[in-house]
Structure formats: C-alpha cells, structure tokens
Amino acid sequence: MRRMRRVKILATLGPASNDPAMIARLHEAGADVFRINMSHTSKDDLAERVAAIRAVEQRAGRPIGILVDLQGPKLRIGTFAKDAEMLSAGERFVLDADPKPGTSKRVHLPHPEILAALEPGHAVIIDDGKIRLEVESVGKGKATTRVVVGGKISNRKGVSLPDTTIPVSAMTEKDRTDLEAAVNIGVDWIALSFVQRPEDIAEVRKVARGRALVMAKIEKPQAVARLDEIIEVSDALMVARGDLGVEMPLEKVPGIQKLITRSARRWGKPVVVATQMLESMITSPVPTRAEVSDVGTAVFEGADAIMLSAESAAGQYPVEAVATMNRIAVEIERDSNYRAIINAQRAEPEATGADAIASAARSIAETLDLKAIVAWTSSGATGLRIARERPQTPLLALTPNADAGRRLALVWGVHPIVTEDARDIDDMADRACDISRDAGYAEAGQRVIIVAGVPFGTPGATNMVRVAFVAQDGGALGHGNTSRRP
C-alpha cells in the first residue's frame, strides 16, 4: 500500500475504534501509526490492541507503528463539603494540607510537593483554566491565593502550575508498570507526559533500554524553556497543544508550535502536532474550515506526523476523520507553495559523514530527477537523516529490522520496507532497484539513488552513495543480469 503523502497520520484508539476490523479500516483510510492512551487502557487491553494492530500489519504487508502514551501524574484538588463552591474574582482562597472537606474559603491540595514549591506571584490554574488563582503568600502547609478568574469549583478538579517547577517525577508507579508492559510487548514509541526537564526523559530511557523510542510531550512552560536540552535526550517530540493552551496564554501556542517543529527538524528528530486538529468531527461528518486550515498549517510546517485524539478514539466518525486528514495532507503537499516553504526551513547538515551523505543524496536526486532515494538502514538512523532534508524525491528505507521499520512509520516521507539485509554491493543495488520498481516508484530504464553503509548491518556506518538504472528483467543495469546501460 503506497501512501500518496509525506506527512504521517497518527490515530488514537478508543471505544469507537478498538475493534480489529475498525483498526484495519483506519489503516486503510490513512493511519500510519496508532496511539494507545494508557489513561484509559489496562495492561490486558493493551495486549489485545497490540495484537490486533500486528495482525493488520501482517495482512497489509507494511510496517505500522504503535505509540503508547503514559498517563503521567494527575494533580488534583480535594473535595468540598457541598461538592462545589462559587469563587468570585478578588476573593482570597487557601490551598492547604488539611484533608477536611473544602469550603468557599479553602480546599485540600493533596500534593505537599506543590505547596512546598509555590511562590508568591505563581499562577494556579484549576479545571483547565476555568478557575485561575494567583499566589499571594505561602506558609507551612498552605498557600494563600487571590482569585483572578472566578466561577464554580468542584471536587477533584485538575491543577496546572505554569510558573512552578515541581520536584516530582514525570512517571508515577502506574506509569512504570505500564511502561514495562509496553516495552515487553513490543511497542515502538513511548510518549511521556508532564515533561519538565531532560532528566524526565532519561528516566524513561533507563527503563526502556532501547526496546522502544521515547517521545517527549511538550505541554508545560518549563519544557519550552529547556526545549533544546529535552530534544537532545529525546527520540521525538509531540506538540501537546491542549495542555500548552491551558498552562500558557492561548495566543502563544501557534508560535510555540512553530518553534518546536523547526527545532525538532534542526535536530533531526521527528515531531508530532496533536490535539483538537479535527475536533468537530467527534460529532460531525465534516470538519470546520478553521480545522482544515489548522491541519494544513502543520503540513506546511513540515511536521512528521499529525494526530487525531478523540476524533478517532471516541468520535462518531473515526474513519471519516482519518480519511479527511489524509485528503487535506495530500492536497497541501500538492500546493504550489508547499515545496518552497519546506525548502526554506531546511537546516544546514550537521558536521558528520551521515548528514553530509544525506544532504548529498537529496541534492543529487533532485538535480538528476531520480525516481527514488533508497536507504539501506539497520537502525533507521539513515532514514531519519535523509528525512531531515525533506527531499522532493520519494524516500524508501530498506531494513532487516522490523522494529526499525515500525519506528520509521512515524517519520516524514519515509516508506519503510522490511527485507533481508544486502549480501554485497551488487545485491544492494539489485534489490534496491527491484523494490523501487515493485513498489511503484520507478520503472525500467529510470534511475534511483542508493544510500548505504559498508560493512552492511553496521549501525551508524552510512558511507556510500550509488546511482543505478532499474533493469527490465530485474536488478540494476550492469550487474546481476545481462542487461547493459542503453
């Protein structure tokens, strides 16, 4: 199944889409990677979802990525004697360590680490921004705040702290258990919520031990402030716009999205744009015009993947949502402005042999109008480096490693194919040409460019570029058959 677009689509599974037949329909409609949200998934359900996706993968004959999204810490206030109270702007309201039911004047905050970290001037946001408090003073086991935005406050609503770095791990005990289950069952990506510092990512990597790659969800101001440090230790990023829009002024989110997508590309790390992309399709068979523009903006920006959340997990039109996102992406990539915008964002290659070869391969392919760039890759790193260049020429990644192929399913423009490793240089060229032809990227007599590392099967050894003609009777012209270049 050949996709007619470069950006990838990530679809979240849930009550509307957990059925194996529905998973197959979503993949056929355009989903390249499936997200499993552990906030709503047990370990037993996780095993069922992964098995269903792998069955679809086997029938489709192409790698499908699986991303497990860890729940992360859930910070919440306590309960009220009357279940709810009304707060008015300008009033004083106390957050404290007293477990007694709350009143209109105070409520229990069952997180001593928050009370210890709050400082005067810090904002405390409750219930996704419906209530906003500002800390005026702090004492032992309590913080006195002024109500900035009032309204109804009720039991166990979530707390966000945009100004406060909390000395707490991004992983709870549940997350650790879920993480172990996910990597043991063979998922490809782990998304980490509540990232504040690079050490949060290092903690997950220590548990994963390379069995899955780690994606940092950028949803807190603290993560934006240390973005480059977090990118350096992450394998990929997610622009989690929902929580970003709660913890930061809404008007800042578009600029932060561009900052993250461009920074990730500069580092050569995949980036996913997520949250409310086609939100109205939860209940409507068609999106709003603004949502179409939002998806288009992410595609123009060169994001590696665009994500559906509730639209595919719990909406009434999951297949239609994926198909709509696919159509939007295909059309944007055909737009006359698309290539100029993508090229304008290209960063200079890093001072490494692999990056220099990736840049050269793109330039040669575009100068000679070659039909495909074929990258032999053991770990997937060669495919990533070439994808960083955002080549106009289609990119095939041939790998003997099924895990690498599945991970590359998330990466811009990469068509991953799992195959036996090349035996020698002639076999490398012959099979690259055969696969390019069989996959519909090149015809007999046309040329492709091949990127590989010698010796074969050695991760990080990208050191060779070769241009080859596709032969009529198989292989590359000039070797492996009796044909000669015309």
364-394 per-position pLDDT tens digit: 999 999 999 999 999 999 999 999 999 999 9
Whole-number Å distance between alpha carbons of 192 and 190: 6
pLDDT digits (tens, 9 = 90+) for 244-257: 999 999 999 999 99
Residue 353 CB neighbours (<10 A): 13
Span 431-452, average pLDDT: 95
For residue 478, pLDDT over 70 is answered with: no
Domain ranges of the chain: 8-72+170-337, 84-160, 353-469
* Cis bond before residue 20 (omega within 30° of 0): no
Nearest to 391 by CA among 377, 378, 406, 374: 374
Contacts with 218 (C-beta within 8 Å, 6 or more apart), sequence order: 195, 224, 227, 230, 237, 238, 239, 240, 244, 256, 260
User: For residues 140 and 397, what is the distance between their CA atoms, to the nearest angstrom?
Assistant: 58
Catalytic residue (one of 35, 62, 106, 269):
35
pLDDT of amino acid 457: 67
Tokens at residue 322, please? 């994926």
- Rounded to 5°, the CA angle 450-454-458 comes to 110
Express each pLDDT in 335-372 by its tens digit: 999 999 999 999 898 888 889 999 999 999 999 999 99
Residue with tokens 């998934």: 41
Contact between 74 and 121 under an 8 Å Cβ cutoff? The reply is no
Our answer to whether residue 482 is catalytic in this structure is no
Task: Select from 322, 228, 250, 251 the least CA-distant residue to 281.
Answer: 322
Q: Tell whether the model's pLDDT for residue 472 goes beyond 90.
A: no
Residue of 6, 217, 406, 431 with catalytic role: 217
CATH number 3.40.1380.20 is the correct assignment for the domain at 353-469: yes
Residue 102 makes CB contacts below 8 A (sequence gap 6+) with 77, 78, 79, 80, 81, 85, 108
SS3 sequence of 42-63:
CHHHHHHHHHHHHHHHHHHCCC
What is the spatial distance between Cα 146 and Cα 454, in angstroms, rounded to a whole number? 65
Mean pLDDT of 125-144: 95
Four-way CATH pick for 84-160: 2.40.33.10, 2.40.37.10, 2.40.50.100, 3.30.565.10:
2.40.33.10
Does the structure show a pLDDT above 50 at 484?
Answer: no
CA 161 to chain centre: 24
pLDDT at 485: 36
One-letter identity of residue 295 = V
Question: Read out DSSP for 75-136?
Answer: -B---BTTSEEEE-TT-EEEEES--SPB-SSEEE---HHHHHH--TT-EEEETTTTEEEEEE
Q: CA 109, CA 126: separation in Å to the nearest integer?
A: 11
CATH class for the domain made up of 8-72+170-337: alpha beta
pLDDT band with cut points at 50, 70 and 90 for residue 3 = confident
User: What is the average per-residue pLDDT within 169-174?
Assistant: 92
Interval 88-103: pLDDT, tens: 999 999 999 999 999 9
Which is catalytic among the residues 3, 43, 54, 76?
A: 76
- Catalytic annotation on 152? no
Q: Judge whether 8-72+170-337 and 84-160 match in fold.
A: no
Q: Is the pLDDT of residue 482 over 50?
A: no
Q: What is the DSSP letter of 141?
A: T
Per-residue model confidence (pLDDT) at position 460 = 65
- 35 classed as catalytic: yes
In terms of DSSP H, where are the helices of 152-226? 173-185, 198-208, 221-225
Tokens for 284, please give them.
């409507």
- Among 153, 147, 71, smallest CA distance to 108 is for 153
Structure tokens belonging to residue 390: 């955002």
pLDDT tens-digit profile of 411-423?
999 999 999 999 9
Which residues neighbour 185 within 8 Å (Cβ) at sequence distance 6 or greater?
46, 47, 50
145 is a catalytic site residue: no
At 183-203, the pLDDT tens digits run 999 999 999 999 999 999 999
**Percent of the chain with pLDDT strictly greater than 90:** 90
**C-alpha to C-alpha distance for 386 and 478, rounded to whole angstroms:** 27
pLDDT confidence band for 182 (50 / 70 / 90): very high
What is the C-alpha separation between 468 and 475, in angstroms, rounded?
9
Catalytic residue among 12, 145, 164, 275: 275
The mean pLDDT of 276-285, rounded to a whole number, is: 98
- Residue 387, classed as helix, strand or coil, is helix
